[in-house]
């Protein structure tokens, strides 16, 4: 787990910035794309009336996201070809920074142990496409703060950030695929 994998690519950014649409486009072209931890945890917790929700217990929510992301990382090692993650282990650090909770040491350790491709794709805040939904309760200002927190976190972890331009989905898809070939 200590060696970065050039086949494991993260797409990160604030909520409502087009990450999931891009991941869906990659998936439709046959790329492996594990489900996003945050949305998955929220859906499961709501279904079982659990307390690990960002609005109830943000630290427990972060712990479940971390577990989900580490499992997705391990499963990706069995995939042939590039794997695209809708967020990754370092996003848990960014989330804790955003909500003002000091990250436990094991979360830092996980971000150092579970390394991805050195280039991380980031989707900037995009007010024209931002929408709230059942799992996305943040307003646009919080989406911007989330973006800022994630950018700072990935930079501190020495990842190179590649901002995905605000373009139609096919052009964003081509942009990402061109960058992974370089």
What size, in residues, is the chain? Answer: 182
17 belongs to a structural domain: yes
182 belongs to a structural domain: no
| Stretches in the chain below the pLDDT threshold 50 | 1-4
1 belongs to a structural domain: no
Tens digit of pLDDT for each residue in 36-57?
Answer: 999 899 999 999 999 999 999 9
2 belongs to a structural domain: no
104-107: long-range contacts at Cβ-Cβ below 8 A with a sequence spacing of 24 or more? 107/62, 107/66
Instruction: Check residue 18 and give its pLDDT.
Output: 87
| Domain that includes residue 55, residue range | 8-177
Instruction: Check residue 135 and give its pLDDT.
Output: 54
C-alpha span between 81 and 46 (Å, rounded): 34
Q: Which CATH number characterizes residue 119's domain? A: 3.40.50.300
Instruction: Check residue 127 and give its pLDDT.
Output: 76
């Amino acid at each position: 787990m200590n060696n970065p994998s050039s086949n494991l690519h993260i797409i990160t950014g604030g909520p409502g910035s087009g990450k999931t649409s891009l991941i869906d486009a990659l998936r439709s072209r046959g790329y492996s794309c594990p489900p996003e931890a945050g949305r998955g945890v929220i859906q499961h917790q709501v279904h079982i009336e659990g307390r690990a929700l960002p609005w109830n217990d943000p630290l427990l929510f972060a712990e479940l996201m971390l577990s989900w992301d580490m499992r997705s990382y391990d499963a990706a090692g069995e995939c042939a070809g590039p794997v695209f993650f809708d967020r990754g282990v370092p996003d848990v650090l960014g989330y804790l920074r955003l909500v003002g909770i000091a990250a436990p040491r094991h979360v830092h350790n996980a971000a150092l142990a579970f390394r991805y491709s050195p280039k991380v794709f980031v989707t900037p805040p995009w007010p024209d496409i931002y929408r709230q939904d059942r799992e996305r309760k943040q307003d646009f200002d919080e989406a911007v703060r989330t973006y800022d927190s994630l950018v700072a976190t990935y930079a501190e972890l020495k990842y190179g950030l590649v901002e995905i331009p605000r373009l139609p989905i096919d052009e964003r898809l081509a942009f990402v695929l061109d960058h992974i070939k370089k």
